[in-house]
Amino acid sequence: MPLGVVRDPVFREHDTGPYHCEVGDRLAAIDQAIEQWEGRDCLEALPLRPATEEELKRVHHPSHLSRIASTAGRAMDLDPDTICSPRSHEIALLAAGSLIDLCDAALSGEVDHGFALVRPPGHHATTTRAMGFCLYNNIAAAAAHLITQRGLNRVLIVDWDVHHGNGTEDIFYAEPRVTYFSTHQSPLYPGTGQVGAVGHGAGQGRNLNVPLSPGRGDVEHLAAFHHILAPVAQSLMPEFILVSAGFDAHREDPLGSMMIDSKGFAALTQVLVELSREFCPGKVVMALEGGYNQAALGRAVVAVLRALNGSREDELIDQAAGADMPAEVERAMQTAGNFWRLA
């Protein structure tokens, strides 16, 4: 079964200017790393398709759609960090719509897992606001499609970007059919993602934040997966796993202060693949978020693709399982334990 990807040079044409860190050359670096990977023949590129207004209205207010659409054909700064060029609206629609189609392909068994190598990223975009380099919330649009159009009731979103996905949390904070799990550096932009933010109403307990201190690396992130995410998944029995795959927690990234390396990202992926094998085989689909050291980004993405295709990092996972529990993970585990049975 091929590994599905969304991968096209058009996503480089969202032009943020010469001094921005979220640039098209990020995807060029990923393409170069993939071309040097001996296992690239397992990849099947899916055609691109723009998201519809109906698909985006499930997660964004009409006023937000109108504002982003108004940038078509011209350059505009939506805030000091979030920039639109003449083609940005068009390309943002392709990012969201193509991710949705990749999820459908995984759900139907046409591909075994998938990775949408798209930009602009999405997890900071809220119902009403573009921010943090993000125009539309790609991962949220995909999750909403899965629950409203495909009838799923247990969608798990995992976000390992160094920055908390405040937009995704905001959109699904009261939604019981989506469980959001985030590891992120704290303190750091956007300042959200506290342990006590657990969801509201019917979604209480479905929002799981693991804020980590600067300097945490492979072992600490894997500890959060081992002690919190895995037992939650055992109770949840997810029907689909979506991943906001940011690589700015990499030890070489300029925007964060975390210490994950490529093997660490591969090990995190292996955990998710094993959970998928038990509950939703072939249904781990990732969307690119951050990652701003281009060489490190390329290496890490290929490591994740390898893991999606079955490579293993058992030694690192065993090391993390036997390590002392970090204090931040213990605090998050205690909070999660109020809503889930954790071993």
* 124 is a catalytic site residue: yes
Dig out the tokens for 183 from the structure.
């590891």
Q: Which of 60, 113, 124, 227 is catalytic?
A: 124
Instruction: Quote helix, strand, coil % in the chain, to nearest 5.
Output: 40, 15, 45
Calpha distance 32→299 (Å, rounded): 10
In eight-state DSSP terms, residue 128 is S
Q: What are the phi and psi torsion angles at 107 (to 5°)?
A: -65, -35
Calpha distance 138→221 (Å, rounded): 24
Cα dihedral 141, 146, 148, 150, rounded to 10, equals: 150
Q: Which of 82, 208, 188, 210 is nearest to 136 (CA)?
A: 82
CB burial of 44-57 (b: ≥16 within 10 Å; e: otherwise) equals eebebbbbeeebbe
Residues linked to residue 180 through DSSP beta bridges, in sequence order? 157, 207
- If one counts every other C-beta atom within 10 angstroms of the C-beta of residue 324, the result is 9
Q: What are the phi and psi torsion angles at 119 (to 5°)?
A: -150, 155
Q: Which of 61, 49, 148 is nearest to 100 (CA)?
A: 49
| C-alpha dist (Å) from residue 61 to 66, 70, 113 | 9, 15, 30
Calpha distance 214→228 (Å, rounded): 20
Residues noted as catalytic: 124
